[in-house]
Amino acid sequence: MRAAVVTFPGSNCDRDLVVAMEACFGRPVARVWHADSELPPVDLVGLPGGFSWGDYLRCGAIAARAPIMAAVRRHAERGGYVLGICNGFQILTEAGLLPGALVRNAGLRFVCRPVRLLVANRNSAFTSAYGEGPVTIPVAHHDGNYVIDREGLARLEGEGRIAFRYLDNPNGSVADIAGVLDPRGRILGMMPHPERAVDPLLGSEDGKPLFASVLAAIGGRGGSP
Whether 222 has a pLDDT exceeding 60, the answer reads no
Domain boundaries, the chain: 3-220
Query: Is 151 considered catalytic here?
Result: no
One-letter identity of residue 8: F
Active-site annotation holder among 86, 94, 141, 142:
86
Q: Which fold has domain 3-220?
A: Rossmann fold (3.40.50)
Active-site annotation holder among 34, 75, 141, 193:
193
Select from 27, 60, 13, 6 the least CA-distant residue to 195.
13
The model's pLDDT over 65-76, given as tens digits with 9 standing for 90+, comes to: 999 999 999 999
Query: Is 112 considered catalytic here?
Result: no
The model's pLDDT over 21-69, given as tens digits with 9 standing for 90+, comes to: 999 999 999 999 999 999 999 999 999 999 999 999 999 999 999 999 9
Query: Is 159 considered catalytic here?
Result: no
Q: Which long-range contacts (CB under 8 A, 24 or more apart) does 37-40 make?
A: 37/67, 37/68, 37/70, 37/71, 38/71, 39/4, 39/68, 39/71, 39/72, 39/75, 40/2, 40/4
Distance CA 45, CA 95 (A): 15
Instruction: Kindly report the average pLDDT of the chain as a whole number.
Output: 96
